[in-house]
Amino acid sequence: MNQSKFGKGTKFWYPELSNIGKAVFGKDCIIHSNVWVADRVKVGDRCRIQAFCFLPEGVRLGDDVFLGPGVVFTNDKHPPSTEWEVTIVEDFVSIGANVTILPGLTLRKGCKIGAGSVVTKNIPPNETWVGNPARKLTD
């Protein structure tokens, strides 16, 4: 974890229980225990990453992102590979517990993903998506 860069005020709960690569964290983040954050991951300011999340190389979190417990990002459509896809999570996105996000997607500003969902498509801004595969929640 010494190789990562941490913004001012970022806190880790029990870092010895996590695997933190050469990632860059913004300021005032809270990272819970038992998370995996790989090399070349970028985490914005004021993000909250709950326990048991998996962020492989290529994940980019904007500011004020919430990841519930057990969120899993993937970065390879056809493993094993060394050419990983980038997944972008824009500002103010909230992702519920045990969500799986396929590689190469963009979750736009302010969207919400319901617990247990599997995200297979880009998500438009300010929409709520749920299910497997995730679908837009209608009013």
Q: Which are the catalytic amino acids?
A: 78
Q: How far apart are CA 102 and CA 121, in angstroms?
A: 8
Report which secondary-structure segment, H or E, holds 42. Answer: strand 42-43
3-state secondary structure of 19: strand
Q: In 3-state terms, what secondary structure has residue 17?
A: helix
**DSSP classification of residue 77:** S
Structure tokens at 114: 């319901």
Q: Are 99 and 105 in contact (CB under 8 A)?
A: no
Residue 85 sits at φ, ψ, to 5 deg, of -90, 150
Q: Token match 């326990």: residue?
A: 51
